[in-house]
Amino acid sequence: MSQTNILLESGTNELEIIEFYIEETLPGGGVYRGYYGMNVAKVLEIIRRPTVTGVPSKHHPAALGTFNLRGRVLPLVDLGGWLNKQVVASDTLKVIVSEFSGMVTAFLVSGVTRIHRLSWSQVEAPDSHMQAYSGQSVIGVVRFEDRIVFLLDMEKIVASMNPRADIGATLHVAEPTMTLSEDWHVLIADDSSAIRNMIGSTLEKAGFRVTRTSSGREAWDVLCGWRKRAEEERKHIYDYVDLVVSDIEMPEMDGHNLTRRIKEDQVLQKLPVVLFSSLITDALRHKGTAVGADDQISKPDLPGLTGRVRGLIERFRQGASAA
C-alpha cells in the first residue's frame, strides 16, 4: 500500500480509513475481536511481523523494540498492549507502518480487514463515557451494520511513548510572551480539547483573542454567524475575526472541507487559513494547497505557530488596505 494510491479529491469531506482488529483473551476464557481504524493517509504499508531487537530497560510496556525496514530502523508498538489488552498470540499478526507528525512508526495488530471510503459526516464524536473507557484514545466512531469501528488517536499513542511527538513538550520553547497593540482575533478548530487549549493558550499569551471550536462544522457555523453580522452591520469581516487555525482530521467536517468552504465564500475568503495537523507531510501537503490553505504547519511544531499567524494577518490586512 502506498499513499500514491489515495485518490480522494481534496476538500470533499471524504476520508479513507483502514480497518484492522485486535483479538484479546477474555478473563473468563474465549476471544473477543475489537475493530479499529486509522486514516489511510497515515499508512505507508502493511507487512508481516518482523524480527525485532531489544529495547533499553526503561521503556513503555507496549514498545516491542526496533526493526530494520529497507535500511530504516523503525520502532514497533504493540497496539493491543497499549490498549491494555491481552492479545491472542498468532503467527499471522500484521504490522501497519505509518507516518505522521514527522515520524514513521509501526504498529502491531492482530489483522487487517479492508479500506472504507467514508464522509466525515459519518464519523461520530466519542461521548464522554467512551473517552473515559478508552483512556481518551478514540477520536471517532463509525457504525456499520454488523460492527462498530473505533478510530484511534494515533498521535496520542505515539506521544505517550515518545516525548518528541508530544505537542505539550514543545511549550517550554515557545516564543516569549508579548503583547500586541492590535486586537487580533483567531478562530481555532480542533477536536482534541488538549491541543485546542494548548494552541489557544499559546496565542493568548502572545496577545491574541481566541475563540475555540471542537469541529469543522462548529467553526463553520461560527464563521457564518460572523459573516451575517458583518453584512447586517456593514462592517468588514476583520471586525469579527482575523484568521482561522484548523486541524484536518475532525468528525462531521474535516479541515480541508472547512478551508474550501471559506475560500469559496466571497466574504470569508479574505481570511487567512492555517492548517495545523499531523497530516502535513511532503506527500500530503498538496491537499491543503488544493483547497487554498495559506499556510500548513505540522504538529507538534507549536513554537513556530505564533509568528506565522502574526505574519499572515499582517500580510492579509495590508492587502485589504491596498485594495
Residues 188 and 289 in one domain: yes
At position 132, the amino acid (one-letter code) is: A
Structure confidence by residue, pLDDT tens digits, 48-63: 999 998 776 667 889 9
Q: In the structure, what pLDDT confidence band is assigned to residue 181 with cuts at 50, 70 and 90?
A: very low
Residues 146 and 60 in one domain: yes
Q: In the structure, what pLDDT confidence band is assigned to residue 100 with cuts at 50, 70 and 90?
A: confident
Q: In the structure, what pLDDT confidence band is assigned to residue 168 with cuts at 50, 70 and 90?
A: low
Structure confidence by residue, pLDDT tens digits, 6-19: 446 777 888 999 99
Task: Answer yes or no: is pLDDT of 31 > 50.
Answer: yes
Give the integer Cα–Cα distance in Å for 157 and 103. Answer: 13
Instruction: Tell me the longest C-alpha to C-alpha distance in the chain.
Output: 73
Contact 45, 70 (CB under 8 A): no
Single out the residue in 143, 164, 185 at which a domain terminates. 164
Task: Answer yes or no: is pLDDT of 93 > 80.
Answer: yes
Residues 311 and 230 in one domain: yes
Residues 134 and 197 in one domain: no
Residues 81 and 46 in one domain: yes
Strands 185-189 and 209-213: parallel
Single out the residue in 126, 146, 164 at which a domain terminates. 164
Residues 147 and 289 in one domain: no
DSSP 263-282: HHSTTGGGS-EEEEETT--T
**Overall number of domains in the chain:** 2
CATH code of the domain covering residue 118: 2.40.50.180
pLDDT, averaged across the chain:
87
Residues 110 and 53 in one domain: yes
| For range 173-197, the mean pLDDT | 74
Supply the pLDDT for residue 102: 80
Say which range, 92-106, 176-190, 244-258, 282-296, has the weakest mean pLDDT. Answer: 176-190
Q: Could you tell me the sign of the dihedral formed by the alpha carbons of 276, 279, 281, 283, in that order?
A: negative
Structure confidence by residue, pLDDT tens digits, 150-162: 999 898 888 888 7
Contact 214, 82 (CB under 8 A): no
Residues 109 and 143 in one domain: yes
Supply the pLDDT for residue 57: 65
Structure confidence by residue, pLDDT tens digits, 112-147: 999 999 999 999 988 877 766 666 788 889 999 999
Contact 242, 270 (CB under 8 A): no
* C-alpha separations of 54 from 58, 83, 195 in Å: 11, 21, 33
| For range 215-223, the mean pLDDT | 96
Residues 127 and 267 in one domain: no
Read off φ and ψ for residue 204, nearest 5 degrees. -65, -35
Q: Which residues face 143 on adjacent strands?
A: 148
Task: Answer yes or no: is pLDDT of 255 > 80.
Answer: yes
Residues 94 and 9 in one domain: yes
Beta strands in the chain (DSSP E): 14-25, 31-39, 43-48, 63-69, 72-78, 94-100, 103-109, 111-119, 138-143, 148-152, 185-189, 209-213, 243-246, 273-277, 295-298
Residues 170 and 156 in one domain: no
C-alpha cell at 71: 535500511
* pLDDT > 70: percent of the chain: 87
Supply the pLDDT for residue 126: 85
- Structural domain boundaries enclosing 274: 166-322
Residues 240 and 294 in one domain: yes
Sheet of 43-48, strand order: 43-48, 94-100, 103-109, 72-78, 63-69
Single out the residue in 164, 181, 207 at which a domain terminates. 164
Supply the pLDDT for residue 172: 44
CATH code of the domain covering residue 220: 3.40.50.2300
